Every structure is written in structure tokens, then in C-alpha cells.
Chain A
Amino acid sequence: MATINDVVLKIATVNGTGSASANGLLLKSIFRMGIPVVGKNFFPSNIQGLPTWYEIRVTSDGYQSRSDHVDLMVAMNAQTYARDLAEVASGGWLLYDSTWPRHRQLDRDDVTVLGVPLSKMCNESFDGARARILMKNIAYVGAVAALLDIDLDTITSLLEQTFAEKKHLVASNMQAIRLGYDYARENFVCPLPKKVATMTGTDDHIIIDGNTAAGLGCMYAGATVGAWYPITPSTSLMDAFRSFCSKYRVDPETGARTYCIIQAEDELSAIGMVLGAAWNGARSFTPTSGPGISLMSEFIGFAYYAEIPTVIFNVQRTGPSTGMPTRTQQADLMSCAYASHGDTKHVLLFPADPNECFSMAQSAFDHAERLQTPVIVMMDLDIGMNDWMVPDLEFDDSKIPDRGKVFTAEQLEEMDAFYRYLDVDGDGIPYRSLPGVHEKGSYFTRGSGHTRYGAYTEDSAAYKDVLDRLLVKWETARATLPEAEIEYSKFNKAGLLTIGSGHGACKEARDRLAEQKVNLNYCRVRAFPFGEDVREFIAQHDVVYVVEQNRDAQLRSMLMLDIDADPAKLVSLLHYDGMPLNARFVIDKVLEEVAKGCAA
């Protein structure tokens, strides 16, 4: 079927061959033609030599989730040729490097195979093994451009911008692109029936990954201390923070830095540094992933009990244990919500895309300082490392950050005595004092049992008094955290509920299901503890499909534990194979459940 601006392109390569820049070039060129597009990277936990894929979904509707099929496969990796061919949708195309022969038995009658002698052409045109390998990847960009009708001028201007400092590279890259482009034009009917055409669907939008957006958010939030231990897939968050700080946080005259990034010896140390810095009044944070959360748990409990503002970004990957470090999941919900021994529970934020990573990175510090407790921003690999098209990030210069309840030197001076854990306002949040400000503000921060006055205790009533007051604070958190995104019609008796990166697929699935007369209300939860709006949403429906990316229905359990949601109403749709969620999964599962309901 012929389409315009509705095509899925997948590129199979070997990692470490420079294909990332070629794929980025394709994605950006389509975006610059004004066409909504999304890029998903499926890469191995390896540096060089293993198969890697990049999927580009061109969608005029602007849906952000992964597609469920492939129209054009660029098969550059002989190792995965057979499975790559098998993945192409009926009626689709496969482009391969015809420099080398191909097994006849790998043919499919319903797929058109397009051979382009990429290696041969590049070997003839370029010198040196490295250049030949890199240019072979750039050459397929040219062939794809011809096949899909991507504007060559757009590609050229993008290259000129990318290589502004190294002009000679523009010429060689364009030469490689022309090799592929001209060969395709001469040998195939170009463009294919599925092609792209300039539109105006990307105004006021950018293409960015969540880790970069969160790192930028930390810089805008005024974070000064970042402590971390490298772990996939969170590493690029600190890389981004460092990169922005090196530009905007260095005094042009003295060279002095107003940021302090410490690469810790492990995650236990990273979180300890965050606590120490926050105790002293700096905005501090650590990015990590599941295994890091396990290691940080003792300190997270300490921060809960000693009431220290703490910001953690958990870019979730698959578990258990090491799991698949380069695959995505939402399987750390429970381990973060209830991290550490004893009665502890923690504030979680669930950004749905990089735009929200930017805004929630900032509000995480506000909530942490207001509530004096750990706040964990629950990202995942899909949001953190993939290229999303999102509305422009916005920053309000007039907004005053919330630094929470901190006594000044003057306030302390006027007091008879300062007691750290007194609930004077009735919201469960005491006032704190910072070291170095006033002698009267001094207190002993401890994880051992303490009274409302901050003194050590083994007295049951005094201990319980503080523990119960923390529950008052929990309710304050519930009332002040971001509300859920809800779409409600009183005519619908069933609802769809999800978090984080499930949003894109659920949104698309709802539209498709509506076309089939299955109408669902929608609730996209943005924070834990869950607000009154979430409780109400569940109460309003006969059935709520809970879509989450883990095996054990952790979100469903949390709804039961935190707001006493009726388990009979909550039907789990669980996706946990490590790939980003797509709409097809949600549609099929909902239809299955609907059919069951009809049969009953």
C-alpha cells in the first residue's frame, strides 16, 4: 500500500562501525523535513563487533512508541541477515550490500530485495580501511534517501552543520551519499510507494533523549554536586550534566567551576556523597540504574529517617541481577518505592518522555527540599537513551525554586532553642538548619532512634511519635506531587492506566481501539504516593487495565498497597521482554480481555 510519511525503517549493523552517525543523519533529515519521527536503538552490552539495530518510525500522526513492523530493512550485518529478512512486513523491501553473494534460500517471495554494492563502490572511492567502513554506512544513507525521497539539500545542510569545523569531511560524506543515491536511482524505481514528503509537523519540537534532557534539567535546577558511579543506561545523564556545566558553570575570567562532579568508587559512596552535600544545603543528585539502587538502599533508608533531601535518577534496565543491561523495563518500582529495611517508603516521579525528564529533574529538587526526603525520578532505558520528538523544553525565569523549610541565622538567633524534628506546621515537615549558619542550629543527624527534639532514644513512645509523624508527611507528599494525566468520559466503564514510557504506546492504542469501538478512559500516573485523582479514577471504572513493563505487576501491587485499590478491578497487561512497549501489545491484550468479558 502506498503511503506518505508512514514508514518504518530498520537498519541492522555491527556496533563500533560508526553506523550511529549515519542513522542519526537519516533521523534528523526526516525531522528537518517537518515530518514527525522517532528513533529507537537496540544495542548490545558490548563495545565492538556485535549486532545492533536502529529503528526509525516515520509517523505523520506523531506517535512516539515503537512500531510493530518493518517496511524497509537495511541489512548491513551478515550475522543477522536471516532474522532481519524474516522481520520485514509482507510487501516490504530489504536493502543489502551486494558486493558479496547472498544465499538464494534466504529469499522471500513477498519481499523485494534491493542489492547495492556499497563496499565495492566505497573501496573504489576511498582509501584506508577505516574510511571505507565509515563511508559504507554513509553510502546507505544515500540509497535510503533515494528510496524514500529524503531531500538531499536537507542532508547536505545537516552535514555542513555537523562538520562546521572539519569542512573536508562534508565533501567526502556527500561523495559517499551520492554513491548510494545515484546507484539506487539508476537501478531501482525511486521513490518506493512508501515515501516521505515535506510537511509542517515538527514546529516547536526537538529530538532529544531523556538522559540529556534530565542532565540539562539538573543544570537549570541549580544542582551543584553530582556524585555517581558509571552504569548503563544512566551514564549519559551525568555526561550531559558535565557537558552543560563545562559551558555554563565555568567563570570565563578565573576558570573556576561552580559544579562538583565526583565519580565515586561505587554506588554506596555516590549516594553517601549526595546525602552529605544535601545536608549542607547544596542541590545534589546521583544517576543510577537497578543494581545501583540495590547498593544505595541502606542510605536511602537513612535519608528517609534522618530527613535529608535526596535526588536520584533511576534509568531502569532489565533485571533481575545484571539482567540485560541494554534493554528496557520498569521493574524497579517496588525496590525504589520501598527501598531499605524497616518501615520506609519513597516519593517517585514518573516522566513519560524527555520533555518531562527536563521538567521533573527540576521539580524533583523542589519536592526533595520541600519534603526533606528522597525523591527518585523513575526513568527507563527507552526514555533515557532513545531519540524522542518532544515539544520544546521550556523554562520559566520567574519561577522561584522551593528550597523548603530552612531556618536562617537570624531566625535561629531569635529562638530559645532549635529542635530538628518538631512538626510546628502540622504538615509533618519539620524545619531544618544548615551547618555553618548558627551555633544554635546545631543538632546530631542520626539514623538511630530519635525523639522529635533530635535526641537519641530507646523510648517506645518517643520513637513511635517520630515514625508516625513521617506518615503525616507522606500524606502531604500525596497532596503536593504532580497530578495524573486523566482523560475521562462518563460513558466509558473501562480505563487504561500506565506510567512513564508506557504513555506513547497507550495513547496510540486508545486511538486504534476507539476505531474498533472499544473506548477506554485514560490515567497516566505521574507520581507515587498516588493522588486522590488516581484513587477516584479507579473507583469510577468497572475495570482498569494496568499497563506496566515488568513481570510481577508491581504497579498494580502498589495501587493496592498505597490507595487500597480493589484488586478485582485491576487487570494487568504486562510487557517485560526488554523491548520498548508498542501499541500492538496493548491493543491485542485489551481485545483479549474484552473478548473474555463478552464470553463470560
Chain B
Amino acid sequence: MSYIAKPKVAHPNMPKNKLGLTARDYEGTVSTLCAGCGHDSVTAAIIQAVFELNIEPQMLAKMSGIGCSSKTPAYFVSGSHGFNSVHGRMPSVTTGANAANRSLTYIGVSGDGDSLSIGAGQFVHAIRRNLNMCYIIENNGVYGLTKGQFSASADIGTRPKKGEPNRQEPIDPVSTAISLGATYIARSFSGDKEQLVPLIQGALMHEGFALVDVISPCVTFNDHEGSTKSYAHTRQHYHHVVDADYIPPAEEIKAAYKEGSAMAVELHDGSKIVLRKVDDEYDPTSRAASFKYLRERFNVGEITTGLLYIDESRKEMHDLMGNVQTPMCQLPLDALHPGSDELKKILNRYR
């Protein structure tokens, strides 16, 4: 029952953020997903990320389509507007919402069915526009709500609970996004909050399209032996390449790192993402190198995680068009037309 509100009782000593809010203030209603669902861990990571970033609840917009993942925006930040749209169409709704009000922070939560099958076209075109949003795919390789059919991200050879193994090539959202020119691409695992929280924070603060692909095992339909998106399989084949720390603009970079093994990337608002290179071969600023590395690791059965690609140089949608900074929805209507005298002049063209 997703309308059951959680009691708003907070321990008096709970830490508060700069707005004076506790993490409890960023919670939503009680989750109705299966116990142990990876998606609930992602929800918890989002709550922590938004709390730590001091985002005012009403300045966050929660967008989703249809599926288990798309239900989750009800489970975090109840002080934000949410838009639970139709299947596979979250990107277009977010595009329009952002076109109307660029001052909000947009977080879209989608799934592998929602983004890679029915909504593949919209996912692709949101990237093409460099829509300023954080796009999370809770990726479990199956359709949960319709009870366990394979999705387009199911790996070859992975077995369903019943029936034959998958034989079709999977669509990998990360390599797809790299090939399309997304400007912030990360992958993580729902069970690794330490890695996931800063990646979501970086995605929220990035100006442009930020993808966070989260392997999020389905405990009911895809967590058995033979599944490549089970908890056990993911933990075993998990491969960090680049860990990230998110540093707000006002704070000094405190994260300890060795010279040569870390690099800082400055975001548009002056904040920084500090990348700690676990793997020396990896360069997250080269599209070609990232793609090559990911494919090679994939071929040996590894799931590469971390901040996999970042490009802070490309303009987001509004700036590509040259739009005003004021949100379109806040422009007074009478300032948007030249009035009746000018209309008379316009009409002279049609005489």
C-alpha cells in the first residue's frame, strides 16, 4: 500500500543538513516492493544523496514510467512533486518538464524494461538532447510486475526461474549511452551504497544527461543460480574501475588520494567529482577508451562499475538552444506577445 505514510518521528540527535532537515524529511511512503528488493537500496541511496546535497524538497522533481522501478519515486522525498507517467515515456515527460522549468533538479527512475525495450527510443533521444537530469536505471534483467519475463538487458545464457536460457544479445545501457554521447555515465550495484551515493550526487549536480545504471537484483524472479543479475553473481563479478567522491563547491577537497591515482573533474556549479582510479588503465574522459575497456571486461564476464565516462564541456538542452535562464513557466503571459498594435502591423503582410 504505497499511500501509507511513514511516521514523521525523528530522533532528536539525528544529523541535520544545511536546511535544518534530517534524512527522515527526505523519505517517502512505505515501499510495496518485495522484501530484499535491490530497488529499495537504491531508494535509500537517493535519500542519502539528496539529503547530503541540501536540495530543498520542492525543488526536486521525481519522474518515472511504469514498472517496479517506476513505483519507487513514491518511496523517497514526499515533499517533492512526482510524475509517474506511462510505460517507457518518462524521458519525454521530463524533457517537457525541464523545458518549462529549468530551475528544478530532475531525477528519473526507470528500469531495464522501461528504458531498453518500450522506451528505448525516448531514452536515446533524451541523451541526444543532453537533457539536464539524473537518469537512474534499476537494472535487474527481468520484468518483475508481469512475473519474470526476460528484459532486453538479460545476458546470454542467463536462466529464468522456469524455461529456457536467454540466447539474444543484451542491450547494455552504459555502452549504448557512451556511443550516443551521454555526458555522465556511471554504473553501480544496489548493494554498494558507498559507491552509489556519490555517483548519484555527481549525476544530480552534473549539467546535462547523467546516467546511473544500477544492477539491482530481483529477489523474486532473478536471484537464483544461473541468473547473471543475482546478488551472488554480481558480487562475484563486480569490478571497480573508478570510484568517485562528490565534493560540494564550498568545501575543500579532503579526500585523501595519491598523486597520479586520482583526478578531480569540476562540474558547472564549481563542485567537484574526485575520481579515485582503482584501475590504472582506465581513462573516464575518453569515449573511445571507455568503450573499448568496457567491452573487453564484459567479454571476460566482468561488470565494470564506477564513473565510467564524463564530459563537462558539452552544453545541456537549454543552453544549446540559447534559452533564457528564467524558467519558461514563470514568464508572465503578457510579456510573451507584442500586443494589438503590433498585430496590426503583422497583418499587413497578409494583405
A positions within 8 Å CB-CB of B: 31-32, 206-208, 216, 219-225, 227, 244, 248-249, 251, 254-260, 262, 264-266, 268-284, 298-299, 302, 392-397, 401, 403, 433-439, 441-448, 451, 455-457
Contacts and interface: CB of A to CB of B under 8 A. Distances in A.
Nearest to B84: A446
Nearest to B2: A456
A257 B73 contact: no
Interface string B82-95: 11111001011111
A298 B92 CA distance: 13
Contacts of A254: 324
Contact of B340 (A264, A302, A394): A394
A223 B200 CA distance: 34
Interface residues of B, number: 64
B329 A281 contact: yes
Given A262-B99, A280-B101, 18 more contacts: A32-B351, A221-B337, A225-B96, A225-B99, A272-B92, A273-B95, A276-B93, A276-B95, A277-B100, A280-B104, A283-B333, A392-B347, A436-B61, A436-B81, A439-B57, A442-B78, A447-B84, A456-B2
Contacts of B333: 221-222, 283, 401, 403
Contacts of A448: 84
Interface string B339-351: 1101110110011
Contacts of B328: 224-225, 258-260, 277, 282
A397 B339 CA distance: 6
B59 interface: yes
B83 to A, nearest CB: 5
Contacts of B85: 272, 275, 299, 302, 447
Interface stretch (B175-183, B306-314, B315-323): B315-323
B3 interface: yes
Most A Cβ at <10 Å: residue of B85, B94, B122, B339: B85
Contacts of B94: 276
B125 interface: yes
A401 B336 CA distance: 12
Interface of B: 1-3, 56-59, 61, 73-74, 78-86, 89, 91-101, 103-104, 121-122, 124-125, 129, 318, 321-325, 327-331, 333-340, 342-344, 346-347, 350-351
Contacts of A270: 92
Nearest to B103: A436
B324 A258 contact: yes
B347 A393 contact: yes
Most B Cβ at <10 Å: residue of A251, A298, A395, A396: A395
Contact of B92 (A223, A264, A436, A441): A264
Contacts of B78: 442
Nearest to A283: B333
Contact of B125 (A220, A265, A445): A265
Contact of B81 (A216, A396, A442): A442
A282 to B, nearest CB: 3
Contacts of B323: 256-258, 260
Most A Cβ at <10 Å: residue of B99, B124, B325: B99
A403 B331 CA distance: 13
B340 to A, nearest CB: 5
Contacts of B325: 256
5 contacts: A219-B336, A224-B336, A282-B100, A394-B340, A442-B58
Contacts of B322: 255-257
Contacts of B339: 395, 397
Nearest to B342: A248
Q: For the complex of A and B, list the 6 residue pairs with the smallest distance between their C-beta atoms, beginning with the closest.
A: A276-B96, A272-B92, A273-B96, A222-B333, A282-B100, A455-B3
B101 A436 contact: yes
Contact of B121 (A269, A446, A456): A269
Contacts of A248: 337-338, 342
B336 A249 contact: yes
Contacts of B324: 251, 254, 256-258
Contacts of B342: 248
A409 B59 CA distance: 13
A435 B347 contact: no
Nearest to A205: B351
B347 A206 contact: yes
B97 A277 contact: yes
Most B Cβ at <10 Å: residue of A255, A265, A397, A433: A265
A266 B121 contact: yes
A128 B104 CA distance: 58
A451 B3 CA distance: 10
A277 B318 CA distance: 14
A248 B74 CA distance: 41
Contacts of B331: 222, 224, 258
Nearest to B61: A435
Nearest to A28: B351
B350 A208 contact: yes
A322 B136 CA distance: 37
A220 B338 CA distance: 8
A411 B46 CA distance: 30
A445 B58 CA distance: 14
A280 B125 contact: no
Contacts of A451: 3
Contacts of A435: 58, 61, 80-81, 97, 101, 104
A276 B104 contact: no
Contacts of A260: 99-100, 318, 321, 323, 328
A447 B93 CA distance: 13
Contacts of B343: 220, 393-395
A226 B46 CA distance: 32
B74 A273 contact: no
B86 A298 contact: yes
A255 B337 CA distance: 16
A207 B350 CA distance: 5
Given A302-B86, A439-B79, A276 B92 contact: yes
Contacts of B124: 265
Given A206-B351, A265-B122, A276-B100, A443 B81 contact: yes
Nearest to A272: B92
